[in-house]
């Protein structure tokens, strides 16, 4: 009896319980992927996915009933984190009335991640916007071009090292401009 409890305790000590969501749909999804971390961010389910299994996990998420890709965007953690870019995809399941946020990271030099367009065609414009604004490449995207800025624009505006800039205002009859 006592031996059994010790083995159980040892097992607990050896493998700290990985936090898993309570929702059965999400739980089944996360149990299949050891490397994907789950977090509850202010009550919202977030999946932290390694960059290399981004597309694979996306397929699994789609299979679990998340049929809508609501949004794809990025965050530039220039000084705060070693992996500079965080790519965020917001997913929605109309079937289960459930949301899931998938995040992954990309490094400083030539940041890239697999495209979600083969999984959700609706990710197209959103990924183009993220590429345009952050310079994160989405590998396998059919039409990865700038979308909001003109093609000959230099730089990616929403990066933290992209200056806000200003145009000096010149007032009429100001004594500085004669």
Pick from 105, 129, 137, 138: which binds another protein (CB under 8 A)?
129
Beta strands in the chain (DSSP E): 37-41, 44-48, 68-76, 85-93, 98-106, 112-114, 137-139
- The smaller minimum CB distance to another protein, of residues 17 and 169, is found at 169
Span interacting with another protein, options 1-9, 15-23, 24-32, 114-122, rule CB under 8 A: 114-122
Element holding 12 (H helix, E strand): helix 2-14
Nearest-angstrom CA–CA distance, 101 and 46: 5
Closest contact distance (angstroms) between CB of 9 and another protein is 35
Nearest-angstrom CA–CA distance, 131 and 145: 8
User: Quick check: 102 and 58 in contact, CB under 8 A?
Assistant: yes
- The smaller minimum CB distance to another protein, of residues 6 and 145, is found at 145
Pick from 40, 44, 52, 107: which binds another protein (CB under 8 A)?
44
Footprint of another protein on 54-73 (CB under 8 A):
67-71, 73
Number of residues that bind another protein (CB under 8 A): 45
Closest contact distance (angstroms) between CB of 88 and another protein is 7
Residue 111, class by beta-carbon neighbours within 10 Å (0-12 exposed, 13-18 middle, 19+ buried)? buried
Helices (H), ranges, 15-171: 24-31, 54-63, 123-134
Binding site for another protein (CB under 8 A): 41-42, 44, 67-71, 73, 75-76, 80, 88, 90, 94, 97, 99, 101, 120-126, 129, 133, 142-143, 145-153, 157-158, 162, 164, 168, 170, 177
């Amino acid at each position: 009896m006592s031996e059994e409890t010790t083995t159980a305790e040892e097992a607990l000590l050896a493998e700290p319980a990985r936090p898993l969501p309570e929702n059965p749909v999400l739980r089944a999804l996360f149990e299949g992927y050891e490397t994907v971390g789950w977090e509850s961010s202010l009550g919202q389910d977030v999946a932290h996915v390694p960059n290399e299994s981004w597309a694979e996990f996306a397929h699994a998420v789609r299979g679990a009933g998340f049929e809508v890709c609501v949004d794809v965007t990025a965050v530039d953690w220039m000084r705060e984190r070693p992996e500079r870019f965080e790519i965020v995809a917001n997913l929605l399941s109309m079937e289960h009335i459930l949301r899931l946020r998938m995040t992954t990271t990309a490094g400083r030099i030539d940041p890239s991640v697999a495209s979600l367009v083969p999984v959700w065609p609706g990710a197209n414009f959103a990924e183009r916007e993220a590429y345009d604004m952050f310079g994160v490449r989405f590998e396998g995207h059919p039409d990865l071009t700038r979308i909001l800025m003109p093609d000959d624009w230099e730089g990616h505006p929403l990066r933290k090292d992209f200056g806000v800039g200003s145009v000096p205002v010149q007032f009429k009859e100001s004594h500085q401009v004669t």
